[in-house]
Amino acid sequence: MLALLLSLAPLLVLSQQPMYAIVEYMKTKPGKEWNYIELERNFWKPVHVERIRQGEIVGWMLYRIRYTAGNDPYNYATVTLFNQTENLEQPGTIDPLTVHPDKDVENWLTETDESRELVIRNLLIQQNFIVPNGEGGDPKFLEVDYMKVKQGNDLPYRDLENKIWKPVHQLLIQSGTRTGWSVWARLYPSGYGMDYQYMTINELANFSQIALPDYEKAIKSAHPHRKVDDIRHKTNQLRTLVKSELWELLDAAY
């Protein structure tokens, strides 16, 4: 089964190509939230399906970011996945008119602009991932953690995620409290003055999994000869957890 999530590991394994993600953060305008969702589903999703058919992208997802309010800078995100760097140069080559020849495309484009503001656009590259048995599920929720890493600590941080935390998350997935995990690096815009340099993703099959994981038990099982406090101290030395968000999957194409 293909994963409707940021890891999309089977495609990565098959293609042997790096996986890239363009993440676009949206702020819906007052009174336009449901209109925005319908526009994404009924107008833009078919365009993304055609992009997938033509090999331009490998997946597209629409997420609602839970627990946001009027003062938050964004409340929705779309994720577009690529496994060919050449497709990133001009990532929108499909004319919506060819997908919707019977619709007033200009009107739909205007409605899109009136329903939401595109606040942030980031390009990410996948660094690491786990999907059980090499197959992705369809996680309903993502826990998205934004990590700030000091200049000079990129390699030690990635090594920490790979050697220390990946085995821990593997045990959490095996126990059924998580369905997948991945690490992404921010390519553009980038720099150590930015608010974050990496994202880690925990995938949840349903809302009830939020409170389930016993990290201390998993750390002890994955690293029986190391102290939990030492691992936590080393982790906090190498990165700062800037914020965590809960993303709910609303729709996808793959």
The burial of 75, by beta-carbon neighbours within 10 Å (0-12 exposed, 13-18 middle, 19 or more buried), is given as buried
Indicate the residue among 122, 144, 160 that finishes a domain. 122
Query: From CA 214, how far away is CA 210, in angstroms rounded?
Result: 11
At residue 90 the predicted structure's pLDDT band, cuts being 50, 70 and 90, is confident
Residue 1 is assigned to a structural domain of this protein: no
Name the 3-class secondary structure at 78: strand
**CATH code at position 69:** 3.30.70.100
Residues 172 and 225 in one domain: yes
Are 160 and 238 in contact by the 8 Å Cβ rule? The answer is: yes
Indicate the residue among 95, 122, 149 that finishes a domain. 122
Query: From CA 80, how far away is CA 57, in angstroms rounded?
Result: 7
Place of tokens 């970011």: 65
Residues 59 and 140 in one domain: no
Q: Is the peptide bond before 189 cis (omega within 30 degrees of 0)?
A: yes
Whether pLDDT at 114 is above 90: yes
Q: Which structural domain, as residue segments, surrounds residue 183?
A: 126-249
Query: From CA 158, how far away is CA 235, in angstroms rounded?
Result: 11
Q: Provide the sign of the torsion angle of the four alpha carbons 158, 164, 168, 173, taken in this order.
A: positive
Please indicate whether residue 90 or residue 130 has the higher confidence score (pLDDT). Answer: 130
Residues 82 and 67 in one domain: yes
pLDDT tens, residue by residue, 32-41 = 999 999 999 9
Residue 17 is assigned to a structural domain of this protein: yes
Residues 115 and 151 in one domain: no
Question: Residue 22 carries which DSSP code?
Answer: E
Which range, of 3-17, 63-77, 138-152, 158-172, averages the lowest pLDDT?
3-17
Which amino acid, 160?
L
Name the 3-class secondary structure at 157: helix
Name the 3-class secondary structure at 232: helix
Residues 130 and 53 in one domain: no
pLDDT tens, residue by residue, 23-69 = 999 999 999 999 999 999 999 999 999 999 999 999 999 999 999 99
Q: Which one, of 38, 36, 41, 50, lies nearest residue 96 by Cα?
A: 50
Helix (H) or strand (E) holding 172: helix 166-174
Please indicate whether residue 5 or residue 175 has the higher confidence score (pLDDT). Answer: 175
Residue 163 is assigned to a structural domain of this protein: yes
Residues 141 and 114 in one domain: no
Which segments of 45-173 are extended strands (E)? 59-65, 76-82, 116-130, 141-148
Helix (H) or strand (E) holding 185: strand 180-188
Residues 138 and 118 in one domain: no
Residue 254 is assigned to a structural domain of this protein: no
Residue 2 is assigned to a structural domain of this protein: no
Residues 112 and 184 in one domain: no
Residues 86 and 152 in one domain: no
Name the domain count of the chain: 2
Residues 155 and 88 in one domain: no
Residue 4 is assigned to a structural domain of this protein: no
Q: What is the pLDDT of residue 10?
A: 44
Place of tokens 């042997």: 16
Indicate the residue among 98, 122, 146 that finishes a domain. 122
Residue 88 is assigned to a structural domain of this protein: yes
Residues 115 and 229 in one domain: no
Residue 53 is assigned to a structural domain of this protein: yes
Query: What average pLDDT is seen over the chain?
Result: 90
